[in-house]
Structure 1
Amino acid sequence: MFSLSLSVLPVFILLMAGALCQRWRFPMDGFWPGVDKLSYWVLFPALLFSKTSQIDFSNPMLAKYALILLLALLVTAIFVFVVIWFMKVSPPTGSSMLQAGVRFNTFVMLAVAGSVYGNDGLVLAALGSSVLIPSINVFLVVSMTLMHGPSSADSSSATSLPRLLSGALIRNPLIVSILLGSSLNLLGLTPIILVSDVLGMLSQAALPLVLLSVGASVRFETIRSVGMTFVVSAVARFVVFPLAIGLMCWWLDVRGLPALIAVLFGVVPTATSAYALARQLGGDADRMSAYITMQTLLSIVSLPLSIWLSQQYLA
């Protein structure tokens, strides 16, 4: 357990370093939002392209892997919807609870997978991301549009929903890089001379810079706004999602590294991009910011424990 904590600790040191840099406005105002854009549009797509272009799609286990992750997503979403109905929370708060429950921070996910399980873990994490990132984006856009109703700029949900879906998929650089890397891989066109080398170099810079920018996005002042709804979102994220994944792995007889990586998708904090989607689609953006901050802080304790438990039962 101690050695595992040491493996995960560098990830959280970088997160806290980013938070301190933002708090002290180092090196200058506006620097970290710029790094965040660079990571989102350049560095992280390069990493995802590099890893998805290495995936062995002939492995018969891949269909099981996708099924495990998608069923766990469905179970977690149902749990959140049921709790929202019982608590009778408003649609904006409910949609933010849903995002906090089903979304995962891809940046932290890949950093932890690489730190604990090496390059093999990183490739499997990229595979899982290629399944979950498009699925979660489509699911959330549809769910939040139905929960909040059509946007005021559109006359009907029939016109707004396709536009929102196209924005979530076609203009998302992470999804585009996953589709390109996977497609070229399946066609046998990778590695690409020079291009793969350049993207590989960019991907090496991605994880440390991304972790610093994620830490810089933490807003400690939002913590005061959390309440019982945060507890529900945290239970969904850190208990229901990984437990569903673990049960699916047991049911489908998936063990070892694939199972351990799958569980990681359920024990990392929710995505920082959830704040932007909450603002765009009428969610409670302030509460979403609090969920992101609190889940990131909570994961410092929960993540090593969850990894240790998964290694005891699924290795």
Structure 2
Amino acid sequence: MFALSLTILPVFLLLLAGAVCQRLRFPSPAFWPSVDKLSYWLLFPALLFHKTSQIDFSNPLLSNYALVLILSLLVTAVVVLVMAWLAKEPATTASSMLQAGVRFNTFIVLALAGSVYGDEGLVLAALGASVLIPAVNVFLVVSMVLMHGPQGNEGKNTSLGHLVTSALIRNPLVIAILLGSGSNLLGLTPILLVSDVIAMLSQAALPMVLLAVGASVQLDAIRSVGVSFCLSAIARFMVFPITIGLLCWLLGISGLPALIAVLFGIVPTATSAYALARQLGGNAEKMAAYITLQTILSIFIVPLSVWLSQLIFA
């Protein structure tokens, strides 16, 4: 357990370093939003392209792996919505609870996979991301439109199909996954010079992203939390990973693939959830609080959860 904590610790120290830098306004308040944009639009897509271009799509495990992750997403979503209904939360809060329950911070998943399980774990994490990123985006856009109505930022009526399509084609992570997987399936990789440049960019992705995630922590937003946070945290850190573990057991998935799958259920929700809450009518203030508190809680929850999953599946 102690050795495992030392392996995971660098990931959270980078998060902490980002939070401290942001608090000290170093190097400037405008710096971190720029790092966030650079990571989201260039560095992280490069990492996903690099890793998905290496996935072995002939592996018979692939279909069961996708089934485990998507079914776990749906089960967790149902649990969140039932809890929100029982707690009589308004639709705006319920949709933010839904994001907090089913969204996952891909950056932290990949950082943990690489830190704890090496390159093989990183490739499997990229495989999981290639399944869940499009699925989560489509599911949440459809769910939030059904809950709030098809309203855009300016209050103009927007069709559901347009919102879903926009969420996918404007998402650089989805585009990187499609390009990397497509190049892989067509046998075009490695691409002369291009693959080398992308590999170099991918090496800068995780440290920069973790610093930016840490800098995005908003301690002032914590004042807005209530019972809804506790319910969404139960879904995020208990329902999601336990469902993944049970489905892995039922489908005979064990070892490293199961350990990587569980990571998707024990990391905090994605920082991009705040933007979607603002865009589609969720409670953005509570969403910011959920993101912040889940990120803080994960510092304690992740090492314990990884240790337990290793006892069960390793």
Q: Which residue of 1 aligns with 2:23?
A: 23
**What aligned pairs does 1:1-315 form with structure 2 within 5 A after superposition?**
1-151=1-151, 153-155=155-157, 159-315=158-314
CA–CA distance in structure 2, aligned partners of residues 182 and 151 of structure 1: 33
User: Alignment RMSD, CA only?
Assistant: 0.8
What code does the residue aligned with 2:178 have? L
Q: Residue 265 of structure 1: SS of its match in structure 2? A: helix
Offset of residue 17 of structure 1:
0.4
Give me the TM-score of the superposition, normalised by structure 2.
0.98
What code does the residue aligned with 1:243 have? I
CA–CA distance in structure 1, aligned partners of residues 276 and 3 of structure 2: 37
Give me the TM-score of the superposition, normalised by structure 1.
0.98
Offset of residue 29 of structure 1:
2.2
What code does the residue aligned with 2:120 have? D
CA–CA distance in structure 2, aligned partners of residues 238 and 28 of structure 1: 34
CA–CA distance in structure 2, aligned partners of residues 281 and 87 of structure 1: 22
**Given that residues 154 and 160 in structure 1 are in contact (C-alpha distance below 8 angstroms), is that contact kept between their aligned partners in structure 2?**
no
**Given that residues 268 and 299 in structure 1 are in contact (C-alpha distance below 8 angstroms), is that contact kept between their aligned partners in structure 2?**
yes
Structure 1: gaps spanning 5 or more residues = none
**Given that residues 106 and 129 in structure 1 are in contact (C-alpha distance below 8 angstroms), is that contact kept between their aligned partners in structure 2?**
yes
Q: Deviations over 1:129-183 (max 9, x none)?
A: 000000000000000000001217444xxx4212211221001000000000001
Q: Deviations over 1:262-307 (max 9, x none)?
A: 0000000000000000000010000000000000000000000000
**Number of residues paired by the alignment?**
312
What code does the residue aligned with 1:121 have? G
CA–CA distance in structure 2, aligned partners of residues 130 and 28 of structure 1: 34
CA–CA distance in structure 2, aligned partners of residues 4 and 188 of structure 1: 37
CA–CA distance in structure 1, aligned partners of residues 300 and 85 of structure 2: 30
What code does the residue aligned with 1:33 have? P
Q: Deviations over 1:226-272 (max 9, x none)?
A: 11100011000000000000000000000000000000000000000
Offset of residue 85 of structure 1:
1.2
Runs of 4+ in 1 over 4 A off after TM superposition: none
What code does the residue aligned with 1:32 have? W
What code does the residue aligned with 2:145 have? T
What code does the residue aligned with 2:14 have? L
Q: Deviations over 1:84-128 (max 9, x none)?
A: 111110111000000000000000110000000000000000000
- Identity among equivalent positions (%) equals 71
**Given that residues 279 and 285 in structure 1 are in contact (C-alpha distance below 8 angstroms), is that contact kept between their aligned partners in structure 2?**
yes
